[in-house]
Amino acid sequence: MDLNPGAKFCKGCYYWKSTTRNVSGYYCCHYILVEGEPRGCKPGENCEKRLELSAEETEIKDAEYRKKAVNWSSEYNGGSY
């Protein structure tokens, strides 16, 4: 049984990220965390949400995600982030 089925097909996708800050951590799809909605398709070879970005595009998208995360945290914590 493959415990990480996306590893073969998802590597290189923007949403395929480590579950820890450690690069050697377990990887999974972070689509729902980044976009705030379910992916809507199965992970792997036929995923319709695959996104490959350049390093510059990745930096921009990461900055957008961090901004959203701060906003969500502020709302959740009553503005005390």
Tens digits of per-residue pLDDT, 35-55? 989 999 988 888 999 999 999
In a domain, 29, yes or no: yes
35 vs 78 pLDDT, higher one:
35
Q: Compute the distance between CA of residue 25 and CA of residue 27 in angstroms, rounded to an integer.
A: 6
The pTM of the full predicted model, rounded to 2 decimals, is: 0.73
Instruction: Determine the pLDDT at residue 75.
Output: 62
In a domain, 2, yes or no: no
Instruction: Determine the pLDDT at residue 81.
Output: 44
Q: Which pair of tokens denotes residue 69?
A: 């995360």
Domains of the chain: total: 1
67 vs 32 pLDDT, higher one:
32
Longest CA–CA separation in the chain, Å:
44
Instruction: Determine the pLDDT at residue 76.
Output: 59
Q: Compute the distance between CA of residue 19 and CA of residue 73 in angstroms, rounded to an integer.
A: 19
In a domain, 11, yes or no: yes
Which residue range is the domain that position 63 belongs to? 7-76
pLDDT exceeds 50 at position 17: yes
Q: Where are the alpha helices (DSSP H) in 1-81?
A: 7-10, 31-35, 55-76
